[in-house]
Amino acid sequence: MNSNKIKYNIEYLLLRTLQEFLSLIPRTAALKIGEISGLLLYYSGVYRKIALKNMEHVGLWDNSQTEKILRDLYLNIGRYASDFLRKSSKLPPYTIQDYHYVESAMAQGKGLIVLLAHYGNWEFLAEVFGRMVNDLNVVAKPMKNEIVDRWLAEKRDGASVKTIFTHQALRKMMEVMKRNGIVAILIDQHAGKHGTMVPFLGKEANTVRTVAGIVRKTGCEVLAISAIMEKGENSYKIVFEKPQPPELTSKSEDECIAEYQRIHNEIISEWIRKKPEHWFGWFHKRFRGIISYS
């Protein structure tokens, strides 16, 4: 057995052990343990440099505000991770706002793309809506640890959610749209060769073109959704948002796609401006190629 395989097996064993422990204790206790774990990460400085560089680049908050956001961000990592890991037939309490957008979108018969970000508890949304709708699919990048990857896929399968891996995303997404299904996709990371530069939090950022291209080609519906747990309440507020239709008159094909991208990015940017402590994209190299993370 090579060193990577040993490492991956240990990671999986630790993950499952933690899952079992958090599932045995009351949720309030699990959330508190999550907070403590997040606080330890905050003081350890893990990913701190990347987050600070991103916050400095967007320039929306002063130093004292940034430090408070960062501390709350780490606390939220622990809280959301605890909820994600817990096994329970009963979901945490939640409310849903503007679900009628989903019903209206599905009535059009052209399929629905749901925009997600690493904001709040995006995995919780799969558990909620996998039980409520038919043909829900999520686009995901395969993890290096194949054992954990299979565990995560099985967790989604348990909620009747199918996984579409990124290397086959375009073809599979088109198939889902043709049968009037739903695809949820995270769009807030650096997209590499699959992206183009579009404003995000007021700064140019490499943004995935896949969603905008499919919307332009098929005329499918698009909604954005977030799930936030406020400290002290321990319940989730799930909100659907419908993007404003773009003005595409006299625009080239590339300009049309860029306009869709801009509108989609702006929805997520607005979430982050209002509650930056819930966006875990601060730990990603979102502005790679624009700023140096070294």
Tens of pLDDT, residue by residue, the chain (294 residues): 577 888 999 999 999 999 999 999 999 999 999 999 999 999 999 999 999 999 999 999 999 999 999 999 999 999 999 999 998 878 999 999 999 999 999 999 999 999 999 999 999 999 999 989 999 999 998 889 999 999 998 888 888 899 999 888 999 999 999 999 999 999 999 999 889 999 999 999 999 999 999 999 999 999 999 999 987 889 999 999 999 999 999 999 999 999 999 999 999 999 999 999 999 999 999 999 999 998
pLDDT of residue 100: 97
pLDDT of residue 3: 79
C-alpha span between 38 and 35 (Å, rounded): 5
Beta 182-186 vs 112-116: how paired, if at all?
Answer: parallel
DSSP string, 77-100: HHHHHHHHH---SSPPPEEEE-TH
Residues 6+ apart with CB under 8 A from 265: 187, 198, 199, 200, 205, 207
Q: What are phi and psi of 61, to 5 degrees?
A: -135, 155
Q: With contact defined as beta carbons under 8 Å apart, do 192 and 167 qualify? A: no
C-alpha span between 189 and 166 (Å, rounded): 13
* pTM assigned to the model: 0.95
Sheet holding 94-97, edge to edge: 94-97, 236-241, 221-229, 112-116, 182-186, 136-140, 161-165
pLDDT of residue 2: 74
